[in-house]
Amino acid sequence: MTSRRRPDHASGHPALRRTAAGLTAALAAVVLAGCSIFPSSNETPTDQDGTALPEANANGYAELPLYFVALSGDFPPATTGRDVACQDLLVRASSVPVKTEDRVGTAVGFLIDDEQYSHGDPAITNSLDPSEDGLLYSSSRVEGDTVTVELTGDVVTRSQCESFRIRAQLNRTAAAAAGVENAEILVNGVRIEEILGLPELELGEEFTTPAGEPAPDEGSLGTEDTEGAAPEDGTGDSDELDEIGDPNQLNGAQG
């Protein structure tokens, strides 16, 4: 699948896209403090399978859940996540408080518009980075315990392992942002599983990497590799971050 240049008129949601762009622009300016990027077990939402919608403060600002992937063999220490495929870990980060009328669109839009593949050292990665120029968020709707996200354009993937990461990042970010258990991701009206040739999403058990060690022993996640496919690193520069978001918007929330 090839990337397609985003047409100038294709934003459709200018306010939403300005918010997502602000989140992306602030990434390199914030400094990582240990593993504080990942919420502790007593924060809300806490369940990677979907929980209550993050609560907004009196001014309408709320943190957004964002899912990234720690690659097998280079896990940040003391990091909790779930096996997503190829022994990679799906982990959650939180944005600084932002104000938006479409939390699902802003969260998903951040993953798509993120201009960096990796963040931190050891890094968490964003496999949506190569799709930045060819993929657009269109809309979302919640029915019962499922949010359906409509995307348009092209998904760029460079390996089967990366396809698993892309689907998991979009699926879990959308579900957590909507405060529901399940998510359905459609690209040009077609399920992403069909486009990427994937089975139904089934994450492995929750796992916490050892403190002070880059990764557990091979096979300790207890899941099978995907047909011997090896994870493929991206080309983005590695920057450090604490919380992902726009400091200016955070200041506005405190005011």
- pLDDT of the residue at 184: 98
- pLDDT of the residue at 199: 97
Which residue did the predictor score with more confidence, 98 or 244? 98
Which residue did the predictor score with more confidence, 241 or 64? 64
Using the predicted structure, report yes or no on whether residue 27 has a pLDDT greater than 50: no
Buried b vs exposed e over 228-245: b needs ≥16 C-beta within 10 Å?
A: eeebeebebeebebbbbb
Instruction: Give pLDDT tens digits for 116-131.
Output: 999 988 889 999 999 9
- pLDDT of the residue at 96: 78
Q: Which of 205, 243, 128 is nearest to 174 (CA)?
A: 128
Within-domain flag for 115:
yes
| Beta strand pairing call for 146-153 and 182-187 | parallel
Using the predicted structure, report yes or no on whether residue 149 has a pLDDT greater than 90: yes
- pLDDT of the residue at 56: 75
Instruction: Give pLDDT tens digits for 33-52.
Output: 222 233 333 334 344 444 55
- The span from the CA of 7 to the CA of 171, in Å, is 25
Which two structure tokens, joined as six digits, stand for 246? Answer: 């726009």
- The span from the CA of 53 to the CA of 177, in Å, is 6
Give percent above pLDDT 90 in the chain. 49
Quote the number of domains for the chain: 1
Within-domain flag for 30:
yes
Within-domain flag for 20:
yes
- The span from the CA of 115 to the CA of 112, in Å, is 8
- pLDDT of the residue at 54: 63
- pLDDT of the residue at 59: 80
Within-domain flag for 100:
yes
Which residue did the predictor score with more confidence, 54 or 241? 54
Within-domain flag for 217:
no
Mean pLDDT of 189-196: 98
The pLDDT confidence band at residue 29, using thresholds 50, 70 and 90, is very low
Most confident of 13-22, 112-121, 160-169: 160-169
- pLDDT of the residue at 222: 35
Give percent above pLDDT 70 in the chain. 62
Instruction: Give pLDDT tens digits for 228-238.
Output: 444 444 444 33
Within-domain flag for 211:
no
Within-domain flag for 114:
yes
Instruction: Give pLDDT tens digits for 53-100.
Output: 667 777 889 889 999 999 998 999 998 999 998 999 999 998 778 999
Within-domain flag for 43:
yes
Using the predicted structure, report yes or no on whether residue 180 has a pLDDT greater than 80: yes
Which domain does 126 fall in, by range?
14-205
